[in-house]
Structure 1
Amino acid sequence: MKVLFVCMGNICRSPTAEAVFRKYVQDAQLDTRIAIDSAGTGDWHVGKGPDQRACQAAARRGYDLNALRARQVTVEDFQRFDLILAMDHDNLRRLQVLRPSDSHGELDLFLRRYKLGADAVPDPYYGGEDGFEQVLDLVERASAALLDELRGRL
C-alpha cells in the first residue's frame, strides 16, 4: 500500500502528515507494508526542507520532519500511489485536473475521509504557532483513522 499526502507547497501540512503517519505505521510495525510520501501541487519550494515552525511543532510531539524535502506532484504519482490524500479542496481540485484518465489510485480529502468534523486541514503558513498545533491535532486524528483503515486492507 502506497500513500501520498498533498498540500500546496509541501512544506507545512503534507510533510507533517507524512511524518506523523510514518511514525504511526512504524509503531504498528507495518513500515514494510505501507509506503508513505508527500508532495505539493505547486513548485515554489521544490528541494527545500519543511517550514521551521512545522518542524518545531512536530518535534515537540516527537516527529522529525528535518530530512524531508519538498517535491511537486507528478502525473506518475497517480500510477505509483494507491491513495492520494489532499489537505484541502483547492489542492484536491488541482489533483483532479492533473489526474490521468487511466489512474486507478484513490483520490480524496484526508479529513473528509474520516468524518472528523472538518473537510480541510487549514494552511498554517501565514498564521501563528497555533495553526501548526491545530494541523498536528487534525493530522494525528486522521492518521489514526487511516491506519485503522489500511490495517483492514492489508
Structure 2
Amino acid sequence: MAEGLLKQTLAQSAIDCHVSSAGLNALVGHKADPMACQLMMQKGIDISGHRACQLNSEMIRKADLILVMEAFQKDAIEKNEPSTRGKVFRLGEWSHFDIPDPYQKEMTVFEAALALIEQGVAEWAKKLH
C-alpha cells in the first residue's frame, strides 16, 4: 500500500524518483493481500501486480532513502548494513509513529494501517518537495 501511495503522491507532486518496496522477511513472489488491493482500488491505485521481494544489499546500496514501517525494521537494517545510518527512516518519522503490519488481520486493521500510511506519505512528500 505504501509503495502505491508514495508513487502516486510523488508523481502528482512532480518529484522524480524511483519507488519500490521490499521486505525483511518477505514472502517472495506473493501477491499483495486482497484487502490491501481492495482498499487501494478505492483510491484508484491498482497494486494487483505487486509481488513481494526480499530486501538485499544491492537495493540498500542503490537507495538514497529507505522508508520502513516500524522502528525495529530501521534498527535491523542499520545493524546489518551500518552504511545505511542516516538514510533509513520510518514512514511515520515526522509524527513519531510506527505502522503495524496488517498482514493476516481483519479489514479494520488494514484500514488503520492505510490511514497511517497516508499520513506518513503526505509528510514525506512535503519534506521531499
Using structure 1 for the length normalisation, give the TM-score. 0.76
Contact 1:82 1:104 in 2 (8 A): no
Q: Which of 54-63 and 90-99 deviates more?
A: 90-99
Determine if contact 1:122/1:135 at 8 Å carries over to the other structure: yes
Q: Secondary structure of 1:62's partner?
A: coil
Kindly tell me: are residues 102 and 89 of structure 1, through their superposed partners in 2, closer, same or farther at Cα, counting changes over 3 Å?
A: closer
d(CA) in 2 for partners of 1:132 and 1:149? 26
Deviation of the 1:89 alpha carbon: 2.3
Counterpart for residue 25 of structure 1: 10
Deviations 1:52-95 (A, max 9, x none): 11111111122211121111010122211111111012222221
In the alignment, structure 1 residue 68 sits paired with structure 2 residue 50 = yes
Structure with bigger strand share is: 1
Distance 1:143 1:41 in 2: 20
- Post-superposition shift, 1:134? 1.0
Q: Structure 1, unaligned stretches of length 5 or more?
A: 1-15
Q: How far apart, in 1, do the equivalents of 2:108 and 2:4 lie?
A: 19
Structure 2: 5+ residue stretches without partners: none
Map 1:1-154 → 2, pairs under 5 A: 16-30=1-15, 33-43=16-26, 45-99=27-81, 101-103=82-84, 106-111=87-92, 113-115=93-95, 118-151=96-129
In the alignment, the residues of structure 2 paired with residue 105 and residue 35 of structure 1 have an alpha-carbon distance, to the nearest angstrom, of 19
| Total equivalences in the alignment | 129
Contact 1:40 1:72 in 2 (8 A): yes
Decide which structure has greater helix share.
2
Q: Any conservation in 2 of the 1:79–1:104 contact (CA below 8 Å)? A: no
Instruction: Name the Cα RMSD after superposition.
Output: 1.7
Task: State the identity %.
Answer: 26
TM-score, length basis structure 2: 0.90
- Contact kept in structure 1, 2:78 and 2:85, CA below 8 Å: no
